Homo-oligomer: A and B are copies of this chain.
Amino acid sequence: MTGRLSAKPLVLVILTFLAAGTVVATPAPASVDGVLKLMPVPASVTVRDGRFRVDENLAIFPANAGDPKGAVSSRAFRAAARFMSRLAGRTGLFLKQDFLSDPKPAGEVGIFYRFDKTGALLPNEDESYTLSIDRAKIALRATTDIGVLRGLETLLQLLSADETGSYFPCVDIADRPRFTWRGLLIDAGRHFQPVDVVKRNLDGMAAVKMNVFHWHLTEDQGFRVESKVFPKLHQLGSDGMFYTQAQIRDVIDYAAERGIRVMPEFDIPGHSTSWFAAYPEFSSAPGTYGIERKYGVFGQAFNPADGRIYPFFDAFLKEMSALFPDPYLHIGGDEVEGHQWEANPAIQAFMKKNGLADNGALQAYFNKRLLKILTKYGKKMVGWDEVFQPGLPNDIVIHSWRGPKALVEAAQNGYQAILSNGYYIDLCLPAEAHYLNDPLPPDSPLDDRQKALVLGGEATMWSEIVTPETIDSRIWPRTAAIAERLWSPASVANVDDMYRRLGPVSVRLEELGLLHLKNPDMLLRRLAGDPRIEPLQVLAETVEPLKNYLRHGQAAYTSLSPFTRFVDACAPESLAARSFRKKVDQFLAGRDPILGREIGATLARWKANHVRVLPIVAASPALREIEPLSLGLARACEVGLEALDLLIKEQNQTAAWAEEKGKILADAAKPAAHAELAVVSAVTKFVAACAGPVK
């Protein structure tokens, strides 16, 4: 699980972080010629003198005959062709090599990749690679072609420019993942996410070396996979929004091309209302069911006491086991409330008869029967925390979402485990919150054998309030920070350095078709009905959606609600707002007047924005809700400017003054339009600094 690259001593890990961090760097951090912007940071990086110049003669060649299929038909060659296309896109170079069909080496100059065997899409497969860049030659070596794929992404991240043109810096990199399970869950149940959404996010995953796509395919709000055995499932459970089996095979192929496994999830016995649209008789309270539009935890669950459901699941899981080649299959198992079970006398009698003491025992019974079916079809069972019940054998995988304790308990009890608690990107928390969430923190109580059971983690993109238009901005760039946590050495944990790289990585992710930077502007244009949206953009950079599911308290969201409001155009984490808060902290620490002027200019710009927002709001009913945010920003910035001026003049103020300003700021900090200003806290620090001596 910790990779097979034993030749590299651990000391290099430290070197790494320096190299990719701020130490081995030119003095000007804004320069394109500056420090490396690798994400995830490799296990070891040594920067040497020299530059490999990139011009139209650049070519890439397979250097091994270890590929049984021949170069052009190999996964590595196709990845190399995509690499060249992306490189051409960034540099504008008319590359002479016909990189789609011509792998023949023309000389000694170029990129040479080599691998020993085709990698398997399985946990613990070797993804390591070494990358050695000299002035005339780039050598990329790996045990498997998957390692080549990972190395190509690193190489592309190394592309730099100086006054002469584009180049790769001369480096030696030896890299391997820390965890073997680096996943992204996409919930296609609550909001259907068409194939193109999935594909572009697979490309994003590959760019940051993630390797498990967890496809959440069924929910109360939708059954999203075509079943040829039980076609009523998708016909009645999806509003026509489901993946055909041909599409699923296409996605699996697409993922495999990028070295990514596809693990399906069929969430049972709860979260299953959409199944009952087709088969109400399998519910624990038979009746009429439609596709659920609302969100929450509903009582509906399959009836484990009904013998008919097991042949049904046998046939269904047989079909799905054949459709999805991955050896793991996720059966969900979360949030079964049990009200229907408790209200059903037949179920109660069944429990009594079988000695099942409580709902947990009933669910364990259900899971054991499912496990038998899955085992028959060659699948390993994965389930959320709740499947961890006494009596289940050790060969299931626990997917921990409720807390780190559950992960530890699972490992201590001999279960393999995956962590998602702390990686819930739908909470709209800042990247650093996820970044510092280590599946195996330094204080982990696990011993080495238990640690080896912790396979890795998954970012979870639940889609209650996320549509194909907004999902990319909810996943990226923050998920790149999670990818780094799961790939890079544990010592790579400098938050500021992570943010230094996150912005550039975000721009690079765009070339894969991801819409995270594009669609916010599009949403604003739609709301304004006009291409001129600059004042809205200015406001949006200071605003973030309400966090921790607080947004759900603001309106009765359903799967048919519009997710096209201003809040949906605001990034979960504004990097501009973070940068502003950071500058305020720096100013308060050192009172640098140049920094003070810069902050003052930003405050003045934000303050002046309100009068520019007003006419746009007046013309758009859907934008009226943002007026309090815009006004709050103007007022907070007015306070900020006053405080800044006083700080520069070193004029302390009274507590009464601070209280008065504090009221204005508290008002500005109030949620509006399901969002909140992300810069008020910094202004509050200014006011506090005015009211008394700063520590």
A residues apposed to B, CB below 8 Å: 31-32, 78, 85, 88-95, 98-101, 161, 163, 165-166, 195-196, 239-240, 244, 246, 290-291, 293, 503-504, 506-508, 510-511, 515, 517-519, 521-522, 525-527, 529-531, 555-556, 558, 560-562, 564-565, 618-622, 625
Q: Are B529 and A94 in contact (CB under 8 A)?
A: no
Residues of B within 8 A of A291 (CB): 101
Q: Are A619 and B522 in contact (CB under 8 A)?
A: no
Residues of B within 8 A of A504 (CB): 529-530
| Cβ-closest chain B residue relative to A520 | B518
Please give the distance in Å from A322's CB to the nearest CB on chain B: 18
Select one of B89, B562, B619 contacting A92, CB under 8 A.
B562
A-B contact pairs, 18 of them (CB 8 A): A32-B620, A85-B560, A85-B562, A88-B561, A89-B562, A90-B529, A92-B564, A92-B621, A93-B562, A94-B558, A94-B561, A98-B293, A99-B560, A101-B290, A161-B529, A165-B621, A244-B246, A510-B525
Q: Are B527 and A507 in contact (CB under 8 A)?
A: no
Residues of B within 8 A of A555 (CB): 94
Residues of B within 8 A of A90 (CB): 526-527, 529, 564, 622
Given contacts A94-B562, A562-B94, contact A531 B506 (CB under 8 A): yes
Residues of B within 8 A of A32 (CB): 529, 619-620
Please give the distance in Å from A608's CB to the nearest CB on chain B: 17
Given contacts A519-B518, A521-B521, contact A527 B565 (CB under 8 A): no
With a 10 A CB-CB cut-off, give which of A504, A555, A560 has the most chain B CB atoms. Answer: A560
- Per the bound structure, the CA–CA distance linking A511 and B521 in Å amounts to 12
Q: Are B507 and A531 in contact (CB under 8 A)?
A: yes
Please give the distance in Å from A196's CB to the nearest CB on chain B: 4
- Per the bound structure, the CA–CA distance linking A95 and B558 in Å amounts to 10
Given contacts A196-B196, A562-B94, contact A101 B530 (CB under 8 A): no
- Per the bound structure, the CA–CA distance linking A166 and B619 in Å amounts to 10
Please give the distance in Å from A299's CB to the nearest CB on chain B: 21
With a 10 A CB-CB cut-off, give which of A85, A92, A506, A517 has the most chain B CB atoms. Answer: A92
Q: Are A89 and B564 in contact (CB under 8 A)?
A: yes
**6 shortest interchain CB distances as A-B pairs:** A92-B622, A518-B518, A88-B562, A196-B196, A89-B564, A32-B619
Please give the distance in Å from A500's CB to the nearest CB on chain B: 13
**Known contacts A89-B564, A92-B562, A515-B518; 11 further A-B pairs (Cβ under 8 A):** A85-B562, A88-B564, A89-B526, A91-B562, A91-B621, A93-B622, A94-B556, A244-B246, A504-B529, A507-B529, A518-B522
Residues of B within 8 A of A621 (CB): 91-92, 161, 165-166
Select one of B503, B522, B561 contacting A517, CB under 8 A.
B522
Q: Are B519 and A507 in contact (CB under 8 A)?
A: no
Residues of B within 8 A of A508 (CB): 526, 529
- Per the bound structure, the CA–CA distance linking A628 and B554 in Å amounts to 52
| Cβ-closest chain B residue relative to A87 | B562
Please give the distance in Å from A232's CB to the nearest CB on chain B: 15
Please give the distance in Å from A529's CB to the nearest CB on chain B: 6
Residues of B within 8 A of A99 (CB): 560
Residues of B within 8 A of A565 (CB): 92
Residues of B within 8 A of A526 (CB): 89-90, 507-508, 510-511
Please give the distance in Å from A602's CB to the nearest CB on chain B: 14
| Cβ-closest chain B residue relative to A81 | B239
| Cβ-closest chain B residue relative to A166 | B621
| Cβ-closest chain B residue relative to A564 | B89
- Per the bound structure, the CA–CA distance linking A91 and B561 in Å amounts to 11
Please give the distance in Å from A242's CB to the nearest CB on chain B: 13
Residues of B within 8 A of A101 (CB): 239, 290-291
- Per the bound structure, the CA–CA distance linking A285 and B293 in Å amounts to 64
Q: Are A31 and B619 in contact (CB under 8 A)?
A: yes
Residues of B within 8 A of A558 (CB): 94
| Cβ-closest chain B residue relative to A567 | B92
With a 10 A CB-CB cut-off, give which of A246, A503, A508 has the most chain B CB atoms. Answer: A246
- Per the bound structure, the CA–CA distance linking A196 and B247 in Å amounts to 13
- Per the bound structure, the CA–CA distance linking A78 and B240 in Å amounts to 10
Residues of B within 8 A of A92 (CB): 527, 562, 564-565, 621-622, 625
Q: Are A517 and B507 in contact (CB under 8 A)?
A: no
Residues of B within 8 A of A161 (CB): 529, 619-621
Please give the distance in Å from A368's CB to the nearest CB on chain B: 37
| Cβ-closest chain B residue relative to A246 | B246
Please give the distance in Å from A198's CB to the nearest CB on chain B: 11
- Per the bound structure, the CA–CA distance linking A291 and B561 in Å amounts to 48
- Per the bound structure, the CA–CA distance linking A240 and B72 in Å amounts to 11
With a 10 A CB-CB cut-off, give which of A165, A517, A529, A618 has the most chain B CB atoms. Answer: A529
Residues of B within 8 A of A31 (CB): 619
Residues of B within 8 A of A100 (CB): 239, 560
- Per the bound structure, the CA–CA distance linking A526 and B98 in Å amounts to 23
- Per the bound structure, the CA–CA distance linking A539 and B621 in Å amounts to 33
Q: Are A525 and B517 in contact (CB under 8 A)?
A: yes
Residues of B within 8 A of A95 (CB): 560
Please give the distance in Å from A610's CB to the nearest CB on chain B: 19
Given contacts A529-B504, A620-B161, A622-B92, contact A98 B518 (CB under 8 A): no
Residues of B within 8 A of A293 (CB): 98
- Per the bound structure, the CA–CA distance linking A78 and B241 in Å amounts to 12
- Per the bound structure, the CA–CA distance linking A358 and B684 in Å amounts to 86
Please give the distance in Å from A172's CB to the nearest CB on chain B: 24
Residues of B within 8 A of A561 (CB): 88, 94
Residues of B within 8 A of A91 (CB): 562, 621-622
Residues of B within 8 A of A88 (CB): 560-562, 564
